[in-house]
Structure 1
Amino acid sequence: MLIQMVSINVKPGHAEEFLEAFRINYEGTRLEPGNLRFDVLRDPDDELRFVIYEVFKSPEALDEHRKTPHYRECVRRIDPILAGPRTKSFYKVEMADFLSA
């Protein structure tokens, strides 16, 4: 199991456009067999800052995710409105409620 957290900062005036574009990725990813969880989080103190919390069954499932049309379309749409590069952090799961599901 692999967790990826992606930090994203959006240019002023583009937060709603970002959410519209990211919905494509969110809805498609939730249907992928290798995805266990996908959350789009927004900083309550900075409405232009987002964190994407993703849980995949394996590193290979994440690799497959990056090849999907919904991922590629989302990236195409959001890249011009980002305030800087996306940053990614990876974690392995030691304890989590969803492990027993």
Structure 2
Amino acid sequence: MLIQMVTIRVKPGHADDFIEAFRINYEGTRQEPGNLRFDVLRDPDDGNKFLIYEVFKSEAALEEHRRTPHYQKCVSLLEPIQTGPRTKVFYNAEMADFLAD
């Protein structure tokens, strides 16, 4: 399993635009066979900062995700409202079977 955590900061006054745009990606991603989890989290102290927690079966599944129309549409909608580039951190799930019990 591959875990990707993406931090996105949006310009003040655009949090609702972010949520609307990201709903497209969320709904599409949850239908992908290679996606196991997809959470959109909002910083309680900074309403313009979001963390996306994504779990994919493999790196190949993540690459397939990046080619989907819903991902491409979301990225195009987010670019004008972001304060800077998205940051991404990757993790491998070492005890996924243990944690699933």
Give me the TM-score of the superposition, normalised by structure 1.
Answer: 0.95
Q: Which structure 2 residues correspond to residues 1-101 of structure 1 after superposition, within 5 A?
A: 1-96=1-96, 100=100
Report % sequence identity. Answer: 73
Aligned AA for 2:100?
S
Cα RMSD of the aligned pairs, angstroms, is 1.5
User: Structure 1: which 5+ residue stretches go unaligned?
Assistant: none
User: Structure 2: which 5+ residue stretches go unaligned?
Assistant: none
Rounded to whole Å, the distance in 1 between the matches of 2:97 and 2:5 is: 18
Residue 87 and residue 61 in structure 1: after superposition, are their counterparts in 2 closer, same or farther (change >3 A)? same
Aligned AA for 1:65?
H
Deviations, residues 20-60 of structure 1 (Å, cap 9, x unaligned): 00000000000000000000000000000000000000000
Aligned AA for 2:41?
L
- How many residues align? The count is 101
> What's the offset of the Cα at 1:14?
0.3
